[in-house]
Amino acid sequence: MTEFWDEAYKDKQEMWGFEPAKSTVLTKNFFIEQKVRNILIPGIGYGRNAKIFIESGMTVTGIEISQTAIDLARKHFGNDLTIYKGSVTEMPFDSKLYDGVFCYGLIYLLNEKERKKLIRDCYNQLTDRGIMVFSVISKDAETYGQGKKIGKDRFEMFGGVKIFFYDKETIDIEFGIAGLFEVTEVTENFPFYLIKCRKNNEK
């Protein structure tokens, strides 16, 4: 996986620009409403989806596997954010608790065991009543069912990328034990679900 992302960033380009994803804007607004002050972003990349949180006065910590992406982020943000180098499957990288966790378009690249661990690790790093938000690709995506099937709702495509496609049933199965309280549909380049969980949330 490290080699894949370093290859993706090989031209040292900010391939998606710095315009935040729609899910990021919605999450930023929600975090402001909830008075979230410090957040953790697993899979932060070069900081595209960190920028509006920083501009809103939040302290951002990231985790990123690609050194090239980390170098790009440091070029743009300097000391405005902390980034741990490593895979999200190796979390936690610190003992800090965060008011919010935002994970954009990452968890669906993991296998079932890794997804469960990521959800648990993110939940464990939340403060009491802290919020975590995940964006995941929906089974309504045109790419669902394409490529080589490697598991239930999981396919290998795009030259080796493995993607798990979610529906509301699998969201409830994977996130229901982690304080799930809201699921909304968001259309970006693909149809996504925006999943919100709260630590110690009483259903």
| CATH number of the structural domain spanning residue 126 | 3.40.50.150
Residue at 159 is within a domain: no
Contact by Cβ (8 Å): 103, 175: no
Cα distance between the two ends of the chain: 37
The lowest-confidence range among 15-19, 43-47, 53-57, 196-200 is 15-19
Cα–Cα distance measured from residue 78 to residue 69, given in angstroms and rounded to the nearest whole number: 13
Q: pLDDT tens across 75-102, in order?
A: 888 888 899 999 999 999 999 999 999 9
Q: pLDDT tens across 21-35, in order?
A: 999 999 999 999 999
Rg of the chain over CA atoms, in angstroms? 16
Residue at 184 is within a domain: yes
**pLDDT at residue 6 greater than cutoff 70:** no
**pLDDT at residue 5 greater than cutoff 70:** no
Q: What percentage of the chain has pLDDT greater than the value 90?
A: 80
Q: pLDDT tens across 142-199, in order?
A: 999 999 999 999 999 988 999 999 999 999 999 999 999 999 999 988 999 999 999 9
Residue at 156 is within a domain: no
pLDDT at 177: 94
pLDDT at 79: 80
Q: Partners of 194 in the beta sheet?
A: 135, 184
Residue at 108 is within a domain: yes
Q: pLDDT tens across 55-70, in order?
A: 999 999 999 999 999 9
- String of b and e for 65-95 (b: at least 16 CB within 10 Å)? bbebbbebbeeebeeebbbbeebbbebebee
pTM above 0.75, yes or no: yes
Which residues 6+ apart lie within 8 Å of 78 measured at CB? none
Residue at 203 is within a domain: no
Q: How confident is the model at residue 15 (pLDDT cuts 50, 70, 90)?
A: low
Residue at 46 is within a domain: yes
Q: What is the four-CA torsion angle of 179, 36, 29, 115, rounded to 10 degrees?
A: -40
Cα–Cα distance measured from residue 199 to residue 96, given in angstroms and rounded to the nearest whole number: 15
- On the question of a cis peptide bond just before residue 20, with omega within 30 degrees of 0, the verdict is no
Strands 59-64 and 191-198: unpaired
Enclosing domain of residue 80 = 2-138+167-198
Quickly count: other Cβ atoms within 10 Å of residue 16's Cβ. Answer: 13
Provide the residue count of the chain.
203
Residue at 148 is within a domain: no
Residue 46 is which amino acid?
Answer: Y
Q: What ranges make up the beta strands (E) of 44-125?
A: 59-64, 81-85, 98-104
Q: How confident is the model at residue 4 (pLDDT cuts 50, 70, 90)?
A: very low
Q: How confident is the model at residue 110 (pLDDT cuts 50, 70, 90)?
A: very high
Residue at 157 is within a domain: no
Say how many domains are in the chain: 1
User: Between 31 and 9, where is the model more confident?
Assistant: 31
